Structure 1
Amino acid sequence: MLREGIEAALIVGIVAGFLHQSGNGRLMPKVWLGVVAAALMCLGLGLAIHTATGEIPQKQQELVVGVIGLVAVAMLTYMVLWMKKAARSMKRQLEDSVQTALNKSGSGWALVGMAFLAVAREGLESVFFLLAVFQQSPSWRMPAGAVAGLLAAVAVGALVYRGGMRLNLAKFFRITGAFLIVVAAGLLAGSLRALHEAGVWNRLQTIVFDISHILHEDSPLGVLLGGFFGYTDHPTQGEVLVWLLYLVPVMYWFLRDGKPAVSQ
């Protein structure tokens, strides 16, 4: 949530800065309207999916958990790699989009849709990621961490916008991107586990090792690691294989071209 919150704050900050510099600061309420609408839409969608999942039989729940995990992995992967590629020209593209919106409608209502889509993209990624984490490892620590990360992102975004804080965005997105790739690998392994419980995947179920005597998956630390990295104390061949097949090539692709350049 810290990363996604800062991504969203960066987008809104660039738009706000351009509006003020171009003498259109009066249109900022339209941007905030789009931001709030996107946040409410994502929150409503997350609550609806979470409620609906709890009302279906256990076996079908596992299927939903597996599918949500796969969607979360796909969205995380796309956004991490997209940020690496798009960050170099994101500021220019956003400013061009704002100018186009202003040219089409002097009242600035097009900014509502632009802000809505920008924040909704980050919000939907967060929704599916949080749903996958909560369902695979339910614990009060997960929502507490999500709220703390979001509040920290709001504070950082405000400080960056006002010029009171210098943040090396290239380094930040590189470190958090690598971290999220590891998280996504764990979600993928957890999704395979859920699909097995749902009866969809029944191959490669031989236990590779069992370290429950060292760190049980139901212990506080085990639950935390399970939520973040898909940890289990008795992984199967399929879970280890899919974890490696995802982590190694995606991490290599992410790190191979050096540091991404993020527009300030």
Structure 2
Amino acid sequence: YMSYWLHSKSSTAEWQRYIQTQSTKAIDKGSLWSLAILSFLAVFREGTETVLFFIGMASSIKLPTLLTGIAIGLVLLIVLSYLILKVGLKIPMRPFFLVSSVLMFYLCFKFAGMGIHGLQLAGLLPATQAPIPTIDFFAVYSTWESVIPQIILLIVAVVAMVWNKKKDKKAKLQQTNQGESKHAL
């Protein structure tokens, strides 16, 4: 779902509409506290999901590698924060959300394969061999029980991508029509 949400926000028009609607609702309620709470919850939710991903991966990563990754992430965060706050760097939202959605999908796809494979190794799920090669980078294992959920995820992602493309085209068409009607007046 997170990958779908990020991909759906990669449309600049859709993202602007979403932000405007949410902030307008918060301000219309008569208080900036609503807007502050909305902002906090959005950031807190993202942070919680990131922590959950790290907890799931931490047991399979050596401590020096984990700490190095955290350090690199912190350095990048500090540099990016400085560039945004002090230099005025504008992050292009469409590429940012597209890359984020691809990364989230990759993690979801891999965690699904790794989770099912782990349950199979523990003897909690059956393992029916499939004529598929094992690809560790994507956590694709040669059992139907692990591949079928990953295929379903892939189908859902493609359907969501096509649906978002259609929504994006429709939003652009509406913006064009609104712009033409304003110029006609």
Query: Is TM > 0.5 for Structure 1 vs Structure 2?
Result: yes
TM-score (normalizing by structure 1): 0.49
Letter in 2 for 1:80: L
**Equivalent pairs: percent with the same residue?**
19
1:177, distance to aligned residue in structure 2 (A) = 1.4
CA distance in 2, matches of 1:145, 1:94: 34
CA distance in 2, matches of 1:246, 1:142: 28
- Which residue in 1 is equivalent to 2:24? 96
Letter in 2 for 1:176: S
**1:138 equivalent among 55, 61, 76:** 61
Q: Does structure 1 residue 87 correspond to structure 2 residue 10?
A: no
**Superimposed CA distance per residue, residues 11-56 of structure 1 (whole angstroms, 9 cap, x where no aligned partner):** xxxxxxxxxxxxxxxxxxxxxxxxxxxxxxxxxxxxxxxxxxxxxx
Give SS of 1:165's match. coil
- Alignment root-mean-square deviation, CA: 3.6
CA distance in 1, matches of 2:96, 2:7: 14
Q: How many residues align?
A: 165
**1:178 equivalent among 102, 121, 134:** 102
1:201, distance to aligned residue in structure 2 (A) = 1.6
Letter in 2 for 1:91: I
**1:113 equivalent among 7, 17, 37:** 37
1:88, distance to aligned residue in structure 2 (A) = 3.5
Maintained 8 Å contact 1:189/1:240 = yes
- Which residue in 1 is equivalent to 2:150? 243
Give SS of 1:138's match. coil
Maintained 8 Å contact 1:188/1:243 = yes
Structure 1: segments with no counterpart, 5+ residues = 1-73, 212-216, 218-224
TM-score (normalizing by structure 2): 0.65
Maintained 8 Å contact 1:183/1:230 = no
Distance 1:180 1:235, change over 3 A: same
Q: Does structure 1 residue 128 correspond to structure 2 residue 52?
A: yes
Maintained 8 Å contact 1:181/1:251 = no
**1:187 equivalent among 111, 114, 126:** 111
CA distance in 2, matches of 1:192, 1:143: 27
Structure 2: segments with no counterpart, 5+ residues = 172-185
Distance 1:252 1:155, change over 3 A: farther
**1:230 equivalent among 121, 133, 139:** 139
- Which residue in 2 is equivalent to 1:65? none
Distance 1:127 1:179, change over 3 A: same
Q: Does structure 1 residue 164 correspond to structure 2 residue 88?
A: yes
Pairs within 5 Å for 1:207-222: 208-209=132-133
1:163, distance to aligned residue in structure 2 (A) = 5.4
Distance 1:255 1:157, change over 3 A: farther
Letter in 1 for 2:77: A
